[in-house]
Amino acid sequence: MRLFISVNFDAQTVGHMLDVQKRLRTAGKGNFTRPENLHLTLAFLGEVAADRVKTIRRVMDGLDVPVLRLCFDRVGRFRRDGGDIWWIGLTENQELLCLQRQLSQRLTEAGFELDSRGFSPHITLARQMRLETEPDCRAVLGEPFSARAESVSLMLSERVGGRLTYIEQYSVAAGKTGR
């Protein structure tokens, strides 16, 4: 099972992200993230044996999940030879950073190997994007916008009918235990 833990967003927030993505589409071609797949990854676990899911759920149940107030304030890219990854970024948020550190520490203590790169909170809008025109990132963003996030989710990543699909497996709400 290919798994990750993420913050998912309500329809209004996804709508704002799709507006940004729509403006980005005018600059070139790429593999644009489908609306239902827009998320903020807290920890990528990769291939995990099914019998380890109980351990992940216990780790998540032990988290102190706050209600997160997130502000999306910039658009940028990670340059890649096969086309760039374009993303929307967030204002630094200490609660989010603490949650991610807590999650990573507990997963590592439980025996999971995580990416050693630093946490760079972002939502991927497009992959393998090749520009036809250089976009003005401020114009692509439009106005900064905010969102509330009240849970973290364990997500399964798999291909369904040839499409990359993310399916929630488990969730822990702010101030509560998992479901």
CA distance linking residue 117 with residue 146, whole number of Å? 26
Kindly state whether residue 140 falls inside one of the protein's structural domains. yes
Kindly state whether residue 148 falls inside one of the protein's structural domains. yes
Kindly state whether residue 15 falls inside one of the protein's structural domains. yes
Q: Tell me the per-residue pLDDT of 15-74, one tens digit each, with 9 for 90 and over.
A: 999 999 999 999 999 999 999 999 999 999 999 999 999 999 999 999 999 999 999 999
Kindly state whether residue 14 falls inside one of the protein's structural domains. yes
Structural domain range at position 134: 2-173
Number of domains in the chain: 1
Kindly state whether residue 179 falls inside one of the protein's structural domains. no
Kindly state whether residue 178 falls inside one of the protein's structural domains. no
- β-pair type (145-149, 151-160): unpaired
Q: Which residue has the tokens 């099972």?
A: 1
Task: Give the CATH number for residue 38.
Answer: 3.90.1140.10
Kindly state whether residue 151 falls inside one of the protein's structural domains. yes
Kindly state whether residue 134 falls inside one of the protein's structural domains. yes
Q: Tell me the per-residue pLDDT of 155-165, one tens digit each, with 9 for 90 and over.
A: 999 998 889 99
**Beta carbons of 163 and 33 less than 8 angstroms apart:** no
CA distance linking residue 31 with residue 130, whole number of Å? 10
What pTM was computed for the model?
Answer: 0.92
Angle at which helix 94-109 crosses helix 53-61, to 10 degrees, equals 140
